[in-house]
Amino acid sequence: MEVIEKVFLCKVSELAENQVKKIDNAEFGDIAVYNLGGRYYATADLCTHATASLAEGDIEDDLITCPVHWGQFHIPTGKAQGFPCEIDLRTYPVEIEGDEIFALIEADPALIAKG
C-alpha cells in the first residue's frame, strides 16, 4: 500500500510501558500511540461509536477501553470487540527511528475508490 505521509508521533522516552498518548493531527485525525510492553502501535484516537478520545481510556492487555461507553478495540488490529463498538478502528503501521516514533499514513482505499 502506498505510504502518503510519515507523521512524527512522539519520542520513545515520552511513552512509558502500557501507556497511550493522544497526538493531535488536523489532517488525518488525531492519532493514539500505544506502548504495549515495548511494542508500539498507533490507531485513530476517536472512538468509532461516539465522541471520545481513546487515549483517555484504559489499556487492558492488548485492548483499549473507550472512556465513555467502555467499548473495546484490539490495539494491534483495531478490531472492535462488540456493542456499542461495531466499527473497527483505523490502525497505522509504526516505524521507530532512534528515539522517535512515526506513524505511516497509507492511502485510504475507501477514499481512493470514491476517488
Partner 1 sequence: MGNIIKTLDVTDSLTGLKDVCDLENGRIAGKIFYDQEIYEQELEKVFARCWLFVAHESQIPKTGDYITTSMGEDEVIVIRQKSGGIKVFLNACPHRGNKVCFAESGSTRGFICNYHGWSFNVEGNLVGQHESGVYEDSNFDKSKWGLKEVAQVDSYKGLVFATFDANAPSLKEYLGPIAWYMDALFDNQEGGTEFVGGCIRSTYECNWKIAAENFVGDILHAGWTHDSAARAMLGGSVAKVSDFEESYSVNWNGHGYEFALDTVGNVAVLGESALNKYLHTIKPSVAERLGDFRSNMIGSVSSCTIFPNFSFLPGQNTVRIWQPRGPNKMELFTWVVVNKSAPEEVKEKWRKGAMMTFSPTGVFEMDDGENWEYCTKTAKGRVTAQQDLFVGLGMDTLLTDTPLPANVYEGQLNEANSRAFYQYWYDMLNSRSWNEVPNRNVGKQEAE
Nearer to partner 1, 52 or 94 (CB): 52
**Which of these segments, 9-17, 19-27, 64-72, 95-103, binds partner 1 (CB under 8 A)?**
64-72
Question: From CA 17, how far away is CA 113, in angstroms rounded?
Answer: 38
Q: Does 70 bind partner 1 (CB under 8 A)?
A: yes
Residue with cell 467502555: 70
Bridge partners (DSSP) listed for residue 114: none
**Which of these segments, 4-12, 17-25, 62-70, 102-110, binds partner 1 (CB under 8 A)?**
62-70
**Which of these segments, 15-23, 25-33, 68-76, 93-101, binds partner 1 (CB under 8 A)?**
68-76
Question: From CA 55, how far away is CA 32, in angstroms rounded?
Answer: 6
Instruction: Return the SS3 of 66.
Output: coil
In the numeric block, which cell numbers belong to residue 94?
509504526
Give the footprint of partner 1 on this chain (CB under 8 A): 49-52, 58, 65, 67-70, 84
